[in-house]
Amino acid sequence: MLDIKLLRDNLAAVGARLKDRGVTLDFHHEFRLVDERRRRLLAEVELLKAGRNKASEEVGRKKRLGEPAEDLVAEMREVGDRIKALDQSVKECEEQIAVFLLTVPNLPHASVPMGADSAGNVEIRRWGEPRRFDFSPKPHWEIGEALGLLDFERAARMAQARFAVLTGMGARLERALINFMLDLHTKEHGYTEVFPPLLVNAAAMTGTGQLPKFADDLFKTHDESLYLIPTAEVPVTNLYRDEILAPGTLPRSFVAFTPCFRREAGSYGKDTRGLIRQHQFNKVELVTFAEPAHSYDVLEQMVRNAETVLQRLGLPHRTVVLCTGDMGFSAAKTYDLEVWLPAQGEGGAYREISSVSNCEAFQARRANIRYRSAPKAPPEYVHTLNGSGVAVGRTFVAILENYQQADGSVLIPEALRPYMDGLERIANRQPRA
């Protein structure tokens, strides 16, 4: 959520910066006119309350002198009714403004490149050279099904399309990736591991920006107002909801493995085969709470932490900074990591495997997460940052496609072998039900 004072004082500038994101909102009718009415009502309330206070003093004086005060008391009662009505109108204005503010996205940082869509994203660096195959590389779903690692048909029967069953060494590889990522981030990068609830309330979803804008992409329980998390960013960012963090305790960095659940609304027809776009998938998420003065240094470090995962696994990738028109709702600046998938598109393609964002105070203001820079300093909003460290399913895909062999087997990256009892290759079809 943006600072309401920023809108009041710099509304034209805010509107211009949001247009850079391709967002046009009716600030005049939805905010300015309502806010002006609210302030007029408040001014009238203050005048009436001041008059009522004077009248109360006069009633007291008259009663002490034994003079009649019934007319003044009746007048005060009418003023009280008017104040009550005005207070209700003020409340309605404030509620209307609050609802509108929840629809306003974050402002892009000054360093974010201008652009209307993904074509405007800017590549920052690349790591690794895509492998040259002496055979035609197969897509991961063909490799996984041939080796008995993946079963999409049975998953669809027990659920629906865009689910998968991982079997045998497929399940083992997924678990190995999760443990590898958690160990890397906790033992080498200094993150604290947390396992949060997979169901959260609407307030938590609102705090990170999933509600109200992305309600159609969420799975909601039928009998309670709880939602399956679309990412661990939601519960982990809400760890300190409505709290004030003590001086000297920032940054606080957390890593969480969770399943994630998304309807993928609006994505029908895209990536219908394989694991790229599933309703349920695993992810290792990084979340940091930082002081505003240092949050962009933290952002760069988080990007490097996510890149390290792919480098240890020997997966070629590139890092891009998203342009104004391609950023997420809550982000002020975002980097995407895109891994090379040799069987995607015509001759291979880079596909997103991690997004790392600085949301500045946008989420903290919605979730009321603050800190003190000194013991007696006034509380300020923290900056929240989040990023995939990384998406497990897409890493699974990248390993199958990049490490596939001509005989149909798949080599295991060296970094993962300790997590798979030293196994070097998946060569045989796994037993199936």
Q: Does the annotation count 277 as an active-site position?
A: yes
Q: Which of 37, 40, 52, 277 is catalytic?
A: 277
Q: Does the annotation count 188 as an active-site position?
A: no
Beta-sheet pairing, 252-261 with 192-193: parallel
Encode burial over 282-320: b for 16+ CB neighbours within 10 A, e otherwise.
Answer: bbbbbbbbbebeebbebbebbbebbbbbbebbbbbbbbb
β-strand partners of 166? 150
Q: Does the annotation count 262 as an active-site position?
A: yes
Q: Which residues lie closer than 8 Å to 367 by C-beta, 6 or more apart?
A: 204, 207, 208, 237, 238, 240, 241, 242
Q: Does the annotation count 312 as an active-site position?
A: no
Q: Does the annotation count 355 as an active-site position?
A: yes
Q: Which of 253, 330, 355, 388 is catalytic?
A: 355
Q: Is the peptide bond before 379 cis (omega within 30 degrees of 0)?
A: no
Max intra-chain CA distance, the chain: 109
Q: Which of 21, 38, 262, 366 is catalytic?
A: 262
Q: Which of 94, 352, 417, 429 is catalytic?
A: 352
β-strand partners of 125? 319
Closest alpha carbon to 182 in 191, 173, 169? 191
CA distance 363 to 106: 9
Enter the tokens of residue 355: 């997004």
Can you tell me which residue has the tokens 């219908």? 272
**Active site residues per annotation:** 262, 277, 352, 355, 394
